[in-house]
Amino acid sequence: MRWSHLHIPTLHADPAQAEAIHHRLLVRAGFIRQLMAGHYMLLPLGLLVRRKIIGVMREEMNRIGCEFLMPAMHPKELWERTGRWETMGEELFRLQDRRKADLALGMTHEEVFTSHALELNSYRQLPQIWYQFQTKFRDEPRPRSGLIRCREFTMKDSYSFDIDIEGLDVSFERHRQAYERIFTRLGIPSFTVNASSGTMGGNASLEFMCPSDAGEDVVVICRGCGYAANLEMASSRLPTVIDPESGDAPHMFATPGVRSIDDLARDYEAPASQQIKTLAYMLDGQMTLVLLRGDHNLAEQKLRDLTGAVDIRSAAGDEIRTALGAGPGSLGAVGVRGFPIFVDEALRDRRNMFTGANRDGFHLGGVDVARDLRPSVWADLREVATGEECPQCGRSLKLIRAIEVGHIFKLGYTYSEKFGVRVSGPRDELVHPIMGCYGIGVERAMAAIVECHHDEAGLVWPLEIAPFSVVVTNLNPMDTRTTETSESIYDHLVATGVEALLDDRPLRAGAKFKDADLIGIPFVVTVGPRGLAQGEVELKSRASGETRALSIGEVPSALKRLMNMAVIQ
C-alpha cells in the first residue's frame, strides 16, 4: 500500500479533551475520529488493526468452537423471556419499527443464542461452543476514556452449552486458556480476578485485567498468595476491635453544624472508626438503610448483587426527610422500623458507637449495635482499602487500576430454563443444557494494546497486530535513483508476503520520520540519496530504536530475521 493512497490524517498536537494515552495517540496518529460521545469512526489504519485483532481472536476461538453472526436488532419478546427488558434499565437501547413493534439494539446476545439452541435435541450434540463478532450498543450514561467505554463497539462473544456442570467446567477452562493465548499474542499483559456476574446472571465469573492507569476498574491484589478480585466484590480481614462498654442506653447530644463523618470526628472526638454511617437508598422504590463503619465506603455492586435490585439509587433529600424526619447529615437506624436495614459485617458486635439521631443537629453516642439496632441482613458490603489484610493469607493488600479486557461467566441454567431448551439425556430423560458466556471487546483490546505499547514519539505496535510490518520511506521522491530503489524494495517485500507501506509523499524527511514513529509500524526502511551513494539503506526497529546500515540486497533477509525474533518474543 502507498501512503499517498491512504487516508492517514496525523496531527501535530494532542486532541482536546482526550485524557487516556490510547485516545490521544490513536487520534493523533490518524487511526480513529469521534463522531459523537461514545461513537468512533475507524479510519484505514484503525480498521487494519481491528482486522488483525479479530484475526487473532478468530484463530484461537476456531480451536474450541464455531463462528456465527447474529442480528444486532432483537425483538422485545426475547428480552422479556429473561426479564432483562426491565433489568437492563436505561443502558438498553430501545426503539420501535413502523408497525410500533418494540425492538432492542443488542448489548449482549444470550437471549438470541439461547433461542437458537432450541434446535438442539440430544446430549450427543453437546458440548457446543458458538461465537461471533458483532456490534454491541449500550446507552452508557457517561461514555469516556476513548475506546474503553463506548456506546457502540465490537464484541467477540461466545456461548457454551453442556450436558452437566462438569462439562461447563471444561468449556469454561477452554475459554480461559484461549483468552490467555489471545492476550499473549496481542501483547496485552493480563491476569484473572474474581468478579461480580451482575445482570448476566450465573454464580461464577472471572475478569481478565490489564494493569493500566487508564483503567476504570480497581483491582485488589495480594502479592503473597495471589488473591485477586475486583473492588466490587473483594473482601479483606479487619483487626479485631475491643470497644469500651456502651452504658445502659444511647445518649443524645447536640451537634449543630455537623453534616459529615469528618465534622463529627473533628468537633466531638468521635473517630470515624467509632461511627455508624447511615446511607439511605431506594431499591426498586423501597426506602432501604445501609449501615457501614464511618471510615468505610459502600461497594454498591455488593448491595446490588445481594438484593437483586434493578433500580438502585441514593434516596433524594425529600424522600429521606419524609421517611426519617431528618436530613442526610443526622441519619441513624436506632429505633427505626418499617424499612429494610442492611448492615456491614464490620459493625458486628461493635459497642459505644456514634450515629445520627434522625433529628437535625443531634447525634447519639453509646450505641451498642447488638442491643440498639435491628438489622434485616448482615453482609459484606464495604469496599476494601489498601493495606488491609488478605482474606486468604493475611498479607497486606494493594489496589491497582486496570482495564477489563475480557470476562467469562458460568451462567448455569437461567437462560436454557427460561427459553425451554431441553435435550434428551443419556438415559432418555429431558434435561436443560447448562450454559456459559464469554466476551472480549475488540476496540477495548486495541486501547489496552496502545496503553501498554507506546513511547513519547507515538505508537509501538506489536508485529502481529500492526497495520503494516514495515514502512519503506523514500526521502526524496524527486530523485530518480532513490525512487527506483524504494519501489524495488517495496515491490520485493510485497511479493514475498511482507505487509509493507511505501511512504511516497513529497514531504521533508523530518516530517516522514515523525509520522513513521507516530503511527508505530514495527520496522522502517529508509532510502535516501546520501545512503545510496554508499550503496546502503537504513533499517530501524521501532520498538528498540536500533538502526543499522545495510546493502540493498541484505534488506529482505535482515527484515525476516527481525520479524521472526519479534514473533518469538
Nearest to 127 by CA among 420, 437, 433: 433
Residue 15's pLDDT band, with cuts at 50, 70 and 90, is: confident
Report pLDDT digits (tens) over 135-172: 999 999 888 889 999 999 999 999 999 999 999 999 99
Q: To the nearest 5 percent, what fractions of the chain are helix, strand and coil? A: 35, 30, 35
| pLDDT for res 198 | 60
516-544 average pLDDT score: 95
Nearest to 155 by CA among 95, 112, 184: 112
Q: Is the pLDDT of residue 438 over 80?
A: yes
| pLDDT for res 87 | 87
Residue 203's pLDDT band, with cuts at 50, 70 and 90, is: low
Report pLDDT digits (tens) over 464-502: 999 999 999 999 999 999 999 999 999 999 999 999 999
- Separation of alpha carbons 544 and 2, rounded Å: 25
325-332 average pLDDT score: 92
Angle of helix 442-452 relative to helix 44-62, nearest 10 degrees?
110
Burial class (CB in 10 A: 0-12, 13-18, 19+), 534: exposed
- Assess contact for 4 and 16: CB atoms under 8 A: no
CATH of domain 468-568: 3.40.50.800
| pLDDT for res 568 | 54
| Across 37-46, 174-183, 317-326, 558-567, least confident range | 558-567
Task: Tell me the CATH number of domain 251-379, given options 3.10.20.30, 3.90.960.10, 3.50.50.60, 3.40.50.300.
Answer: 3.90.960.10
Q: Is the pLDDT of residue 300 over 90?
A: yes
Where do the structural domains in the chain lie, given as residue ranges? 3-215+399-451, 251-379, 468-568
| pLDDT for res 340 | 95
- Separation of alpha carbons 444 and 205, rounded Å: 19
Calculate the average pLDDT of the chain: 94
93-121 average pLDDT score: 97
Q: What percent of the chain is predicted at pLDDT more than 70?
A: 98
- The model's pTM is 0.90
Q: Is the pLDDT of residue 355 over 90?
A: yes
Cell numbers representing residue 101 in the block: 413493534
The fold for domain 3-215+399-451 equals: BirA Bifunctional Protein; domain 2 (3.30.930)
84-93 average pLDDT score: 91
In angstroms, what CA-CA distances link 320 with 36, 261, 296, 341, 351? Answer: 38, 18, 21, 14, 26
Q: Is the pLDDT of residue 202 over 70?
A: no
Q: Is the pLDDT of residue 523 over 70?
A: yes
Nearest to 373 by CA among 362, 358, 360: 358
Beta bridge partners of 454: 459
Report pLDDT digits (tens) over 377-413: 999 999 999 999 999 999 999 999 999 999 999 999 9
Q: Is the pLDDT of residue 247 over 90?
A: no
| pLDDT for res 450 | 97
455-472 average pLDDT score: 96
| pLDDT for res 197 | 61
Q: Is the pLDDT of residue 73 over 90?
A: yes
Q: Is the peptide bond before 127 cis (omega within 30 degrees of 0)?
A: yes
Residue 196's pLDDT band, with cuts at 50, 70 and 90, is: confident
Q: Is the pLDDT of residue 57 over 60?
A: yes
Output the furthest CA–CA distance in the chain (Å, rounded): 99
Residue 17's pLDDT band, with cuts at 50, 70 and 90, is: confident
| pLDDT for res 293 | 96
Q: Are strands 434-441 and 152-162 parallel, antiparallel or unpaired?
A: antiparallel
| pLDDT for res 255 | 96
Q: Is the pLDDT of residue 50 over 70?
A: yes
Spatial neighbors of 253 by CB under 8 A, at least 6 apart, are 268, 362, 363, 364, 365
